[in-house]
């Protein structure tokens, strides 16, 4: 919507007031539960992600610089500064592209928000309750800032994990430091002017770097604001500000909508396939077709993938050549599902996979159709064989899990599959249990101790 530059709605101030006022006692139990789930999932993807090339290279470069060792590096025995830990851990947590999503952000909230405040919490010895409170505050701001500029911010080419994520990370770190509303707004302003990240980098090491940089931006911004650094405190709505320069959309009513603190966390979407989230609807629908009709991949002679247009510049790599690029190819991930490959396995996505003759044949059969009427994460897959024409299945991956107990069980299975090979079964189980005690007798110090990886 258009707005009057001389008198815009005070979105930044409103969000900063809300974030600064959040207290643990005010949090709905569902918000605390989902926060634990987000932290559990974050450790699950970060421990193996720390061994990815993008993480190793970044860690080597930054550790060469030296820093006061006050914060842990997940998946590594080294310690470093909070700022270095934020970007290294944030990058590691997005390296596998197996982390959570929220459609309000149109990106990955936890990998942008949590790593900076986790490093800060360790540095200042914050309580687990303080960490949970800060996470909810930052998560809420990220989602609302995302809604403010959606959808054109994302469709224009900005990676919202990096941009909106930086603003949410700043609000969360500001809450962890106990900053007042004015300094929280200042931190958001600093983060907004630091924020960048282009979708053209999808399929490269720079995409996970976006998450790490968002985490570091938020931490830097809060620390600077705490010491009196100046910035615009109306950055989201001012002339030549965040919305005006990075979006054709401006939705203050959505950003400032009255809603409880569990509203956005309850819409968190967890990944159970190790690929871009906008492929998940198609993967689920293709897998259902294979199972329901006992399809043989060799018998398939036509495939149609009907998806919303937002997928076109996100996961429409026609001929991926690397395992990383494979995660951003609707055609190839659908081929994997139809051929019975394990799309949840992080070891599945290899360079060799992209040259598998069976998958290449299915990939090249697939025709993409873009449908404006579909929600962002819904897909409809239709296949034909010589004996059956027009077999179809649909799945909307944008519908969150309403049963939080079931969600916890699924995340626990994912955690075990990813972490047990690294820590061993007993240590992985102990870390899992300690994370789920946060906010009810657990401590961050114990969590980090149990996540340590030996030299």
**For residues 265-283, average pLDDT:** 96
Q: In 3D, which of 216, 102, 225 has the Cα closest to residue 166?
A: 216
Please tell me the predicted confidence (pLDDT) of residue 314: 86
Please tell me the predicted confidence (pLDDT) of residue 33: 97
Does residue 261 have a pLDDT over 60? yes
Whole-model pTM over 0.85: yes
Please tell me the predicted confidence (pLDDT) of residue 5: 63
pLDDT band at 313; cut points 50, 70, 90: confident
From residue 299, alpha-carbon distances to 97, 334, 356, 381, 386 in Å are 31, 15, 17, 16, 7
Does residue 45 have a pLDDT over 80? yes
Please tell me the predicted confidence (pLDDT) of residue 102: 97
- Average model confidence (pLDDT) for the chain? 95
Structural domains of the chain, ranges and CATH numbers in brackets: 11-270+431-450 (1.10.4100.10), 277-396 (3.30.1330.120)
**For residues 50-70, average pLDDT:** 95
pLDDT band at 453; cut points 50, 70, 90: confident
Backbone angles phi, psi at 296, to 5 degrees: -95, 130
Please tell me the predicted confidence (pLDDT) of residue 442: 85
pLDDT band at 364; cut points 50, 70, 90: very high
Cα–Cα dist 437/414, whole Å: 18
Are 209 and 165 in contact by the 8 Å Cβ rule? The answer is: no
Does residue 4 have a pLDDT over 80? no
Cα–Cα dist 104/263, whole Å: 11
pLDDT tens digits along 212-251: 999 999 999 999 999 999 999 999 999 999 999 999 999 9
Does residue 161 have a pLDDT over 90? yes
Does residue 2 have a pLDDT over 70? no
Please tell me the predicted confidence (pLDDT) of residue 7: 80
Do strands 378-385 and 366-370 pair parallel, antiparallel, or not at all (unpaired)? unpaired
Cα–Cα dist 152/157, whole Å: 9
Please tell me the predicted confidence (pLDDT) of residue 455: 62
From residue 372, alpha-carbon distances to 309, 311, 436 in Å are 6, 11, 40
Does residue 377 have a pLDDT over 70? yes
Does residue 90 have a pLDDT over 90? yes
Are 377 and 277 in contact by the 8 Å Cβ rule? The answer is: yes
**For residues 403-413, average pLDDT:** 97
């Amino acid at each position: 919507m258009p707005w009057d530059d001389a008198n815009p709605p005070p979105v930044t101030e409103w969000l900063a007031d809300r974030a600064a006022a959040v207290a643990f006692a005010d949090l709905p139990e569902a918000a605390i539960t989902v926060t634990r789930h987000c932290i559990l999932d974050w450790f699950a993807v970060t421990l193996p992600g720390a061994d990815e090339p993008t993480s190793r290279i970044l860690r080597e470069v930054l550790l060469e610089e030296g820093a006061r060792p006050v914060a842990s590096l997940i998946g590594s025995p080294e310690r470093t500064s909070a700022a270095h830990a934020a970007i290294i851990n944030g990058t590691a947590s997005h390296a596998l592209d197996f982390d959570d999503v929220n459609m309000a952000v149109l990106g990955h909230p936890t990998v942008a928000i949590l790593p900076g405040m986790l490093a800060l919490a360790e540095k200042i010895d914050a309580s687990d309750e303080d960490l949970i409170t800060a996470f909810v505050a930052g998560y809420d701001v990220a989602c609302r800032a995302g809604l403010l500029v959606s959808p054109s911010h994302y469709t224009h080419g900005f990676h919202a994990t990096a941009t909106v994520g930086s603003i949410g990370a700043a609000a969360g770190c500001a809450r962890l430091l106990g900053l007042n509303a004015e300094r929280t707004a200042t931190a958001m302003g600093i983060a907004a002017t630091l924020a960048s990240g282009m979708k053209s980098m999808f399929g490269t090491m720079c995409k996970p770097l976006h998450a790490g940089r968002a985490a570091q931006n938020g931490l830097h911004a809060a620390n600077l604001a705490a010491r009196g650094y100046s910035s615009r405190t109306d950055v989201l709505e001012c002339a030549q500000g965040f919305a005006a320069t990075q979006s054709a959309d401006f939705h203050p009513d959505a950003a400032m909508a009255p809603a409880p603190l569990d509203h956005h966390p309850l819409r968190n979407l967890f990944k159970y396939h190790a690929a871009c989230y906008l492929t998940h609807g198609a993967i689920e629908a293709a897998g259902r077709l294979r199972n329901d009709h006992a399809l043989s991949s060799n018998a398939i002679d036509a495939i149609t993938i009907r998806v919303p247009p937002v997928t076109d510049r996100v996961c429409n790599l026609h001929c991926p050549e690397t395992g990383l690029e494979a995660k951003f190819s609707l055609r190839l991930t659908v081929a994997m599902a139809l051929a019975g490959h394990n799309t949840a396995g992080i070891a599945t996505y290899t360079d060799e996979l992209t040259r598998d003759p069976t998958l290449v044949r299915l990939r090249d059969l697939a025709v993409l159709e873009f449908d404006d009427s579909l929600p962002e994460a819904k897909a409809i897959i239709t296949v034909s064989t010589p004996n059956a024409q027009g077999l179809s299945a649909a799945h909307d991956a944008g519908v969150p899990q309403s049963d939080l107990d079931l969600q916890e069980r699924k995340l626990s299975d994912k955690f075990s599959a990813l972490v047990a090979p690294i820590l061993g079964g007993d240590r992985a189980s102990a870390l899992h249990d300690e994370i789920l005690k946060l906010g009810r007798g657990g401590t961050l110090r114990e969590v980090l101790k149990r996540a340590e990886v030996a030299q």
